[in-house]
Amino acid sequence: MEKLRNTLLLDTLCGREVSRPPVWLMRQAGRVLPRYRELSAQYGFKKLMANADLAATVTLLPVDTWGVDAAILFSDILIVPMAMGLQVEWTRQGPQMPRPLLSYDDPCSRLKTDTSILEQSFRTIDSFQKKRHGVVPLIGFCGGPLTCLCYMLQGNGSKDGFTEAVKYFYTHRRTTELLVDAFTEMSIIYATGQVQHGIEVFQLFESFAGVVPDNLYRELFLPSVRRILSAVRSLGVPTIFFPKGIGAGLPMITPDVCDTVSIDWQTSLDEACSLLHPSMGLQGNMDPRLLHASKPVIARHLEQYISFFRRHPRWIFNLGHGLTKDIPAENVAFVVNWVKQAHW
């Protein structure tokens, strides 16, 4: 494999001294960039994701356009539910599953194992290796067990906090455990496959960690996260865990779970530090909605990160959740440049 020229992210993840924090942004590959919008309008998201050459091109867009310090694989967390037999369609309202597991009496009997869909991500990684000229590291990812199970049970995103899925966890405990186990097995195949194809960093997105009480998360879902990330770590790849909305449950994310914790915009970085083991790295956590403000307002907010970095140099600049379509691309460019040029 070609030697990386930009090692800032890996150095930070491994706790080596760096001159500035690395910067990349959740959902940087899709959504904001005009070129992505053109491709997405032309092919549709599902086809774009399935075409390794185009998906690798989209993966590189934010690196070429904004100069971020890492690329993230262009794919989706719902690939694993698809490999488990769920049909997923992407609509304007987001992902939709026409036959979610809640519509069956015995969901486990409906599960299949078809790893062929995972191959598309592996091919994208292969294609990316050829295109990137060894410049930046590639971040692979998968979804968390709770987030993916919410979709698998209810079939689409939800404004009511996935109440039907959460009711199911309480009323069908044994089946939930079996579903989590099946999800874990498939995710391990997916995650370790990504490592074999050459990703350098792995992030697990648990975007709905906040929809259940901390204790339920610890009992039912955290063991699965630990297993998936341990499989990745045992292959020598550093791991980032993003448990969005976990709040006061952060202390359960101990160093045996992951190397670095991605902090959401609800929790301040200093508060997160006080709740986590001192050996752990942090990532985050600018509120993506602040990207709608004027540049002076954004710059004033960014200043506070300088003193944070001096107190806690093992930190990756990122957002506290992903970019959304309506965010002005020029403000994203402004933030990335600011991070790269500030006097840290």
Binding residues for ligand CP3 (CB under 6 A): 26-31, 40, 45, 72, 74-78, 90, 94-95, 141, 147, 157, 205, 207, 321-322
Query: Would you say 26 or 253 has its CB closer to ligand CP3?
Result: 26
Left, alpha or beta for 27 (phi > 0: left; psi -120 to 50: alpha)? left
Query: Would you say 43 or 334 has its CB closer to ligand CP3?
Result: 43
Question: What is the rounded CA–CA span in Å between residue 28 and residue 58?
Answer: 10
Query: Would you say 18 or 318 has its CB closer to ligand CP3?
Result: 318
Could you tell me the smallest distance in angstroms from the CB atom of residue 125 to ligand CP3? 13
φ/ψ of 203, rounded to 5, equals: -120, 135
Could you tell me the smallest distance in angstroms from the CB atom of residue 20 to ligand CP3? 22
Burial class, 106, CB count within 10 angstroms (exposed 0-12 / middle 13-18 / buried 19+)? exposed
Query: Would you say 62 or 309 has its CB closer to ligand CP3?
Result: 62
Question: What is the rounded CA–CA span in Å between residue 196 and residue 232?
Answer: 10
Could you tell me the smallest distance in angstroms from the CB atom of residue 75 to ligand CP3? 6
Question: The tokens 């009496």 sit on which residue?
Answer: 105
Query: Would you say 72 or 261 has its CB closer to ligand CP3?
Result: 72
Q: For ligand CP3, which residue has the nearest CB? A: 30
Could you tell me the smallest distance in angstroms from the CB atom of residue 77 to ligand CP3? 4
Could you tell me the smallest distance in angstroms from the CB atom of residue 46 to ligand CP3? 9
Query: Would you say 40 or 283 has its CB closer to ligand CP3?
Result: 40
Of 183, 88, 192, 181, the closest CA to residue 140 belongs to 192
- Contact between residue 217 and residue 249 where contact means Cβ atoms under 8 Å apart: yes
Of 170, 259, 180, the closest CA to residue 224 belongs to 180
Query: Would you say 75 or 154 has its CB closer to ligand CP3?
Result: 75
Question: What is the rounded CA–CA span in Å between residue 41 and residue 217?
Answer: 38
Burial string for 44-76 (b: 16+ CB within 10 Å, else e) reads: ebeebbbbbebbbbbbbbbbebbebbbbbbbbb
- Contact between residue 191 and residue 122 where contact means Cβ atoms under 8 Å apart: no
* Ordered alpha helix ranges (H), 102-144: 107-110, 119-131
Could you tell me the smallest distance in angstroms from the CB atom of residue 194 to ligand CP3? 12
φ/ψ of 53, rounded to 5, equals: -65, -45
Query: Would you say 31 or 312 has its CB closer to ligand CP3?
Result: 31
> In the numeric block, which tokens belong to residue 269?
């970085």
> In the numeric block, which tokens belong to residue 24?
């990349």
Could you tell me the smallest distance in angstroms from the CB atom of residue 207 to ligand CP3? 3
Query: Would you say 19 or 91 has its CB closer to ligand CP3?
Result: 91
Angle at 73 between CA 145 and CA 47, to 5 degrees: 95
Could you tell me the smallest distance in angstroms from the CB atom of residue 283 to ligand CP3? 13
Could you tell me the smallest distance in angstroms from the CB atom of residue 279 to ligand CP3? 26
